[in-house]
């Protein structure tokens, strides 16, 4: 099956594993809530015990890069009107109110990017992310 849109997350090479997983979880959750079920091609993964785990049928490509590279991808996605959600250093530690206040004090150039998820037309997202390597 081919998909019109591509789903990619870029994770910082420099983030500790726990921070990286937190960033991926928050950005992915926000993207899913923003898009809803249909654009993500949610499928019902059922087993013989009656469990039903709705998961996306589309590939979710996980890439890695440096903070500045992630920022450039976010800016390129914004310029191309591609949905992008970033997770930055200011979004960790303390309460979410403190995180909101810290985030509001910085420009996009000043943030340390831990992850960014992009969702949009396959070819456009591919062009933005072609220089990133797979996260292994």
- Which structure tokens are listed for 79? 């310029």
pLDDT tier for residue 73 given thresholds of 50, 70 and 90: very high
Between 37-41, 77-81, 116-120, 131-135, the lowest mean confidence (pLDDT) is in: 37-41
Q: pLDDT tens for residues 6-43?
A: 999 999 999 999 999 999 999 999 999 999 988 999 99
Pairing mode, strands 5-12 and 60-65: parallel
pLDDT score, position 75? 98
- Which structure tokens are listed for 40? 């993500």
* CATH number for the domain formed by residue range(s) 5-134: 3.40.1490.10
Average pLDDT, the chain: 96
Q: Residue range 53-66: average pLDDT?
A: 96
Q: Is the pLDDT of residue 1 over 80?
A: no
pLDDT score, position 2? 87
Angle (CA) 32 34 38, round 5°: 65
pLDDT score, position 111? 97
Report the C-alpha gap between 65 and 13 in whole angstroms. Answer: 5
Q: Where are the alpha helices (DSSP H) in the chain?
A: 17-35, 67-79, 96-104, 122-129
Report the C-alpha gap between 33 and 103 in whole angstroms. Answer: 21
Q: Read out DSSP for 45-72? A: EE-TTS-EEEEESS-EEEEEE-HHHHHH
User: What percent of the chain has pLDDT above 90?
Assistant: 96
What ranges do the domains of the chain cover? 5-134
Residues 6+ apart with CB under 8 A from 91: 23, 26, 99, 103, 114
Q: pLDDT tens for residues 42-57?
A: 999 999 999 999 999 9
Q: Is the pLDDT of residue 136 over 90?
A: no
């Amino acid at each position: 099956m081919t998909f019109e849109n591509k789903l990619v997350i870029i994770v910082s090479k420099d983030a500790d594993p726990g921070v990286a997983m937190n960033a991926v979880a928050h950005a992915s959750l926000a993207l899913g809530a923003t898009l809803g079920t249909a654009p993500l091609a949610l499928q019902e993964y059922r087993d013989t015990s009656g469990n039903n785990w709705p998961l996306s049928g589309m590939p979710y490509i996980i890439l890695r890069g440096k903070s500045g590279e992630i920022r450039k991808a976010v800016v390129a996605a914004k310029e191309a009107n591609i949905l992008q959600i970033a997770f930055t250093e200011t979004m960790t530690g303390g309460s979410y109110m403190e995180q909101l206040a810290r985030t509001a004090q910085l420009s996009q150039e000043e943030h340390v990017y831990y992850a960014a998820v992009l969702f949009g037309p396959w070819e456009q997202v591919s062009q933005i992310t072609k220089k990133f390597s797979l996260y292994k």
